[in-house]
């Protein structure tokens, strides 16, 4: 009886050991992958409104009273300039256009993200877009503030890859250049 029991255990262990060789390491799930919001509107260099604004007369009044510029801003909340352009702060600091990270991608770390393809709708240039749009590991897109991507609508597909798996997420994000 004990010989039969020992043989049975050896058969189970042999079967179990040989079955593990075919299973890839980890997992990758992209079925629920999406962006919120899934569109980013950016401006062309020629349409940036980076006007610094006019000097604030109230700020100047406090300067004339002997307050420092830092005190006027911190204590009274009075800005140095008024009527600044919509993109003045972004232009002043050179801040790029950034999207939100992608949501719903799960898998064994480390997951690599790359642009699988770009489809253009509206007369732009896919080559220019591919050259200047970056995607980071969390799926965040970055476009330089002063880019040369032509006006148009660019629909982007991504590829997610980790050890043993590779999956595409088609038409998941749109960049509109105005």
Cβ pair 156, 122 in contact under 8 A: no
62 and 119 share a domain? no
**Residue 161: per-residue pLDDT:** 96
**Residue 24: per-residue pLDDT:** 73
Calpha distance 107→133 (Å, rounded): 25
What domain range is 114 assigned to?
A: 24-48+96-177
Residues counted in the chain: 178
70 and 147 share a domain? no
* CATH assignment of the domain containing 167: 2.60.40.10
Domain annotation covers residue 40? yes
Calpha distance 111→30 (Å, rounded): 11
Give the residue ranges of the chain where pLDDT is below 50: none
**Last residue in a domain, options 34, 64, 84:** 84
125 and 39 share a domain? yes
Which of 170, 40, 152, 153 is CA-nearest to residue 116?
A: 170
62 and 125 share a domain? no
Total-model pTM: 0.76
**Residue 122: per-residue pLDDT:** 79
Report the number of distinct structural domains present in the chain: 2
């Amino acid at each position: 009886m004990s010989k039969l029991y020992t043989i049975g255990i050896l058969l189970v262990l042999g079967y179990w050991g040989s079955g593990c060789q075919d299973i890839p390491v980890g997992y990758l799930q992209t079925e629920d992958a999406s962006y919120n919001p899934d569109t980013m509107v950016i401006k062309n260099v020629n349409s940036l409104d980076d006007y610094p604004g006019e000097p604030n007369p109230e700020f100047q009044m406090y300067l004339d009273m002997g307050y420092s510029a830092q005190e006027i801003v911190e204590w009274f909340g009075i800005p140095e300039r008024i009527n600044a352009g919509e993109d003045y702060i972004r232009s002043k600091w050179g801040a790029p256009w950034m999207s939100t990270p992608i949501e719903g991608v799960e898998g064994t770390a480390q997951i690599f993200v790359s642009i699988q393809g770009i489809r253009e709708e509206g007369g732009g240039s896919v080559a220019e877009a591919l050259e200047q749009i970056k995607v980071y590991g969390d799926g965040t897109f970055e476009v330089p503030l002063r880019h040369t991507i032509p006006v148009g609508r660019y629909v982007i597909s991504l590829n997610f890859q980790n050890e043993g798996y590779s999956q595409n997420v088609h038409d998941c994000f749109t960049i509109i250049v105005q």
